[in-house]
Amino acid sequence: MQIEGSQPQSSINTKQPLTQVPTNQPLGKDEFLKLLVTQLRYQDPLEPLKNGEFIAQTAQFSTLEQMQELNRTLLDQNALQRSISNAMAVQYVGKMVEASGTKLNLTEGTPAKFGAKLTESADVQFTIFDAGGKLVSTLDLGTQNAKTVRAEWDGLGSNGQSLPDGIYTFKIQATNETGEAVSVTPVMIGQVSGVTYEDGQAFLSVNEELISLRDIFSASLP
C-alpha cells in the first residue's frame, strides 16, 4: 500500500557514486580531501560513517599532509646544501688539488705530478700517453707500501727526448707479491683554473677536465 504524497522507496537514493581516482595516479592531499568530503556528503543517513572509519580516514589525511610537508622541507634543505656547495667551489680556484682522474698537465718544463691510491702494498707502474693515445713514457716505481703513491714525470719520452707541453693521460698497473692485480684509484694533481655550473651542480676545471667536489681528496695553496 502506498501512502498518498509519499515517494516509492526505490526513488530514495542518498548514495551517489564517488569520483573515481585513476589507480595509476598518486592520491594527493587535495584529492584525498575531496574524496573524504564527497563521501560524507553522499553517505546514507541510515548507515552513517562509523566513528572508527572516520577517525581512520582523518588520520590518513593528517599523515599524508605531514609527509608532504616533510618532503617540501627535504627539498628546501637539498637546495640550500647545493647552494652552499656551489659557493664553496669558488674557493678552490687557484689551489692545487688531488682528485680522482687520469690527466696530467705538462707545462713550461715543470714536472707533471700525479699519483695513485692503493688498497694494499703493490708494485706500481705508470704508463703515459699523448693526446693521440700513443705510449710516450713508462715509470716503474717498484714496490710501494703507502696507501697514496705520488710520482713526477719530467716530460721526457721513452728515448729521452723532450715532449711538447700539453695534456697527457696516464694508466696504472699495480700487482701484489703473488702477481695478482691490486685495486687502484688514479689520482690527478693540478691547479683549479675555474668553476663550471651544470644542472645546478658545480664542477672544477683541473688539467682541462671537469671534476665534482666529491672527487677531491685534498687541496692546498700552490
Whether 82 and 98 map to the same domain: the answer is no
Using DSSP's 3-state secondary structure scheme, residue 45 falls into: coil
User: Cβ distance 148 to 117 under 8 Å?
Assistant: yes
Identify whether 144 is part of a domain.
yes
Confidence of residue 180 (pLDDT cuts 50, 70, 90): very high
Least confidently predicted of 11-15, 75-79, 137-141: 11-15
C-alpha to C-alpha distances, 169 to 77, 82, 140, 191, nearest whole angstrom:
39, 31, 16, 16
- Any idea what the Cα angle at residue 115 is, between residues 117 and 182, rounded to 5°? 40
Whether 104 and 69 map to the same domain: the answer is no
Whether 131 and 57 map to the same domain: the answer is no
More confident residue, 105 or 23: 105
User: Cβ distance 206 to 191 under 8 Å?
Assistant: yes
List, in order, residues 6 or more apart from 110 with CB less than 8 Å away.
none
Using DSSP's 3-state secondary structure scheme, residue 27 falls into: coil
Identify whether 154 is part of a domain.
yes
Identify whether 9 is part of a domain.
no
Q: Is the pLDDT assigned to residue 104 strictly greater than 60?
A: yes
Identify whether 3 is part of a domain.
no
Count Cβ atoms within 10 A of the Cβ of residue 15 and give its class: 0-12 exposed, 13-18 middle, 19 or more buried.
exposed
Mean pLDDT for the stretch of residues 114-131? 96
CATH number where 125 lies = 2.60.40.4070
Provide the CA 147 distance to its chain's centre, in angstroms.
Answer: 26
Whether 86 and 109 map to the same domain: the answer is no
Which among 64, 90, 116 is the end of a domain?
A: 90
User: Cβ distance 110 to 221 under 8 Å?
Assistant: no
Q: Please state the domain count of the chain.
A: 2
Identify whether 15 is part of a domain.
no
More confident residue, 117 or 57: 117
Identify whether 8 is part of a domain.
no
Whether 79 and 110 map to the same domain: the answer is no
Whether 70 and 122 map to the same domain: the answer is no
Q: Which of 168, 124, 159 is nearest to 144 (CA)?
A: 124
Identify whether 192 is part of a domain.
yes
Using DSSP's 3-state secondary structure scheme, residue 140 falls into: strand
Whether 77 and 101 map to the same domain: the answer is no
Confidence of residue 43 (pLDDT cuts 50, 70, 90): low
User: For residue 35, what pLDDT is reported?
Assistant: 67
What is the residue range of 76's domain? 25-90
Confidence of residue 18 (pLDDT cuts 50, 70, 90): very low
Whether 76 and 42 map to the same domain: the answer is yes
Identify whether 71 is part of a domain.
yes
